[in-house]
Chain A
Amino acid sequence: MKNKASVVVIGGGVVGCSIAYNLARLGVKDVVVVEKNFLASGSTGRCGAGVRQQWGTEMNCRLAKESMKIFENMNEILKTKRDIELKQEGYLLLAYSEREMDQFKKNIELQNSLGIPSHLVTPEEAKEIVPYLNTENLIGGAFCPTDGHANPFLVTQAYADAARYLGVEFYLRTEVTGIRQEKGRIVGVETNRGFIATEKVVNTAGGYSQVIGKMVGLDLPVYSERHQILVTEPVEKMQGPMVMSFSYNIYCQQNPHGSFIMGFGDPNEPRDFNIRSSWQFLEEMARKVTWLLPPLKHLRVVRQWAGLYNVTPDRQPILCETPQVPGFYLAIGFSGHGFMIAPMVGILMAEMITGQKLSMDLELDLGRFERGELILEPSVV
C-alpha cells in the first residue's frame, strides 16, 4: 500500500469511482480509493438502478441530462470490458391529483427548454405505453422516452477499471478509521492497513458519510435511512418503462435481464444504519404492485434486500469543499438519486478539486442550509 497520495477518495461506490476516474483523466497522479468492503458493496449495488431526467429544477435537469449523455456513450468513453446494460425505454410518472398534474406541466416545460424530450400523457396514452396498467383514479402522467436503467455494478466497475488504467490505486477491504489534521489542515488518512499521507480527502462514503465527517470534527447535516427493494424471477419482456408515482409511492421496472425490480419509501423509517429486510415491506410491496400492475401477481419474488439513502434537509446532495476544513471535499447526501447523476458528479468534483472552472453552475454547497437557501426540488421520491 502507498504511504502517500495526492488525493484519497473514501468509498468505492459509483460516486467515488467516478470522481477517481475523472481526477486521473484531468492528469492528477497518485489518486487512491479506499473501500472497506468491495466495489459497489454500499448503496450503489443495492439501488433501483433507475436513470431519469424528469426533474423540477434546472440544475437537476442539467445534471441528469448530461449524465445520461455519458451513460449513452459509456462503453466507448471508458472502454468497458462489459456492456453497462443501458436501457432507454422511458420513465412513466403517474399523477393522481390536479396538483401533481400541474407540477408535471411546469416540469415538462422546463425539461423541454433544456432539450429533455418529456411530454404529458393522458390515462389512455399511459395505457398504450404499459397496456396492463391499472388506470383507476389516474389523472394523467409524464413520460420521457430516453430515461431508463443501467447496471450499477458494471457502471462502477467500468469507472474503476478505467481509473486503474490511468494509474489510480484501489485498496479494497481497507477501512478508513481516522483523518489526521495538523493546524487545521489535513495531513493524512488512517486505515486499518496503515497511514496514507495526503492533503486532500474526498468523502464519498454514502450511508456512512456522517461518520467520516466526524473524523474531521464536522457534524454534517445528513442522516441515513433504510430503503427496501425486491426483485422477481426473470420473465419474457413485458414492460418497457419504469413506472413510478410520487403520491402512490412506488417504482417498478423490468430490467434488460428480464427480472422486475421494485420498491417504495416508508415514511416512518427510523434514521439509522439498519439494512435488514422485513416481511412488512414484502407484503406492502406486493399489495401496491399487484393493484397497479395486476399481471405481476404471477411473478415469483426471488430476493429482497435493503440499502441506505444518505439524506439532506432538502433531499439534494452536498458537493463542495468544506470551508471549515480546507482539503476536505464532500460528495454526499444523494437522498436516493445518486446513481443517475454520478457521471456528472465525477466530472464536477474533479474540476473542483483541481481548481478548474466548473463546467456547470452548482448550488450544492454545505452553507446553503445555514443560509436557508434550500433547493426546492418538487420531484424526489
Chain B
Amino acid sequence: MENGKIIVCRCEDVTLAEIRQLIEEGFTSLDEIKRIARCGMGPCQGKTCSQIIAREIAAATGKSLEEIQIPTNRPPIGGIKLGELVGEENEE
C-alpha cells in the first residue's frame, strides 16, 4: 500500500506520508508533529499513533525510542460530555 493511504492517526486522518514529510522538514519530536498535524489531539489522545510516530522519528534520526518523549496526556481521558459534567440527564 502507498504511504499516502496508510492512516497513522485514525482520529484526525493523518497518513504515514504526511508524518514522513514533517520529519523530513525537521519536526523531530512528537510534540511538534502533534501541533502541526493534530495527530494525538483527537479523542483517543494518541494511544496508537504516538507509538508509530515515535518509531518513525527513531528510524529517521537514529535516536532510541526512550529518547523520544511522548506528549502529556491531557485530561479528561475518557471524553466526558459537557452536559454530564453539570449532572444533566443526557438522553439522545
Chain A residues with a Cβ under 8 A of chain B: 37-41, 45, 81-82, 153-154, 157, 231-233, 257, 277, 282-283, 285-287, 289-290, 296-305
Task: Beyond A38-B31, A282-B76, A302-B43, list 12 extra A-B contacts (CB 8 Å).
Answer: A45-B35, A153-B36, A154-B36, A233-B43, A283-B85, A289-B82, A297-B86, A297-B88, A298-B82, A300-B43, A302-B42, A303-B45
Q: Which residues of B contact A287 (CB under 8 A)?
A: 85-86
A296 to B81, CA, bound (A): 9
Q: Give chain B residues whose Cβ lies under 8 Å from the Cβ of A299.
A: 81-82
- Asked if B45 and A301 sit within 8 Å, CB to CB, the answer is no
Question: Residue A301 contacts which of B25, B42, B76 (CB distance < 8 angstroms)?
Answer: B76
Q: Which of A37, A153, A257 has the most CB of B within 10 A?
A: A153
CB contacts (< 8 Å) of A39 on chain B: these are 32
Q: Is A304 a contact partner of B85 (Cβ separation < 8 A)?
A: no
Known: A153-B36, A233-B79. A282 touches B42 (CB 8 A): no
Q: Across the interface, which residues of B come within 8 angstroms of A283, CB to CB?
A: 85-86
How close is B78's CB to chain A, nearest CB, in angstroms?
9
- Cα of A301 to Cα of B85 in the assembled complex, Å: 10
- Are A290 and B75 in touch, CB under 8 angstroms? no
Q: Is B80 an interface residue (CB 8 A)?
A: yes
User: Is B41 a contact partner of A298 (Cβ separation < 8 A)?
Assistant: no
Task: Using A286-B85, A289-B82, A303-B45 as known contacts, say yes or no to A277 and B36 having CB atoms under 8 A apart.
Answer: no
In the assembled complex, which residues on chain B have CB atoms less than 8 Å from the CB atom of A231?
Answer: 41
Q: A298 near B36 (CB under 8 angstroms)?
A: no
Contact B74 A157, beta carbon cutoff 8 Å: no
Our count of residue pairs bridging A and B at CB distance below 8 angstroms stands at 78
CA distance A303 to B74 in the complex (A): 5
B82 touches A232 (CB 8 A): yes
In the bound assembly, the distance between CA atoms of A257 and B36 in angstroms comes to: 13
**How many whole Å from A171's CB to the nearest CB in chain B?**
13
CB closest chain-A residue, reference B88: A297
In the assembled complex, B51 has its CB within 8 A of some CB on chain A: no
* Cβ < 8 Å to A, chain B residues 17-43: 25, 29, 31-32, 35-36, 38, 41-43
State A305–B31 Cα separation when bound (angstroms): 14
8 Å CB contacts to A: which residues of B36-92?
36, 38, 41-43, 45, 74-76, 79-83, 85-86, 88, 90, 92
Looking at the assembled complex, report how far the CB atom of A7 sits from the nearest CB atom of chain B, in whole angstroms. Answer: 23
Q: Name the CB-closest residue of B to A233.
A: B43
- Give the docked Cα–Cα distance between A82 and B36 (Å): 9
* Cβ contacts under 8 Å, B92 to chain A: 298
Which of A283, A301, A305 is packed against the most chain B CB atoms within 10 Å?
Answer: A301
Complex-state Cα separation, A39 to B35, whole angstroms: 10
Give the complex CA separation of A297 and B25 in angstroms.
40
* Nearest CB in chain B to that of A38: its residue: B32
The answer on a CB contact under 8 Å between B86 and A286 is yes
Question: Which residue of B is nearest A157, CB measured?
Answer: B36
Q: Closest CB-CB distance, B75 to chain A, in whole Å? A: 6
Contact B79 A301 (CB under 8 A): yes
Asked whether A38 lies within 8 Å of B29 as measured between CB atoms, the reply is yes
Tell me the smallest distance from the CB of B41 to a CB of chain A, in Å: 7
Min CB–CB distance A149 → chain B (angstroms): 15
Cβ–Cβ < 8 Å partners of B25 in chain A: 81
Whether B75 pairs with A277 at a CB distance below 8 angstroms is yes
In the complex the two chains form, what is the Cα distance from A302 to B46 in whole Å? 11
When distances are taken between beta carbons in the complex, the residues of chain A under 8 Å from B80 are 300-301
B51 to chain A minimum Cβ distance, whole angstroms, is 19
> What are 15 contact pairs spanning A and B, CB under 8 A?
A37-B31, A41-B31, A286-B86, A287-B86, A296-B82, A297-B83, A297-B86, A298-B81, A298-B83, A299-B81, A301-B82, A301-B85, A302-B74, A302-B79, A305-B74
A153 touches B35 (CB 8 A): yes
Partner pick for B74 among A40, A233, A300, A304, CB 8 A cutoff: A304
Chain B residues, CB < 8 A from A300: 43, 79-82
Give the distance to chain A from B14, nearest Cβ to Cβ, in Å. Answer: 13
Chain A residue numbers with a CB within 8 Å of B88 are 290, 297
- In the A-B complex, the 10 residue pairs with the smallest Cβ-Cβ separation, listed nearest first, are A297-B83, A286-B85, A303-B74, A300-B79, A153-B35, A286-B82, A286-B86, A287-B86, A297-B82, A38-B32
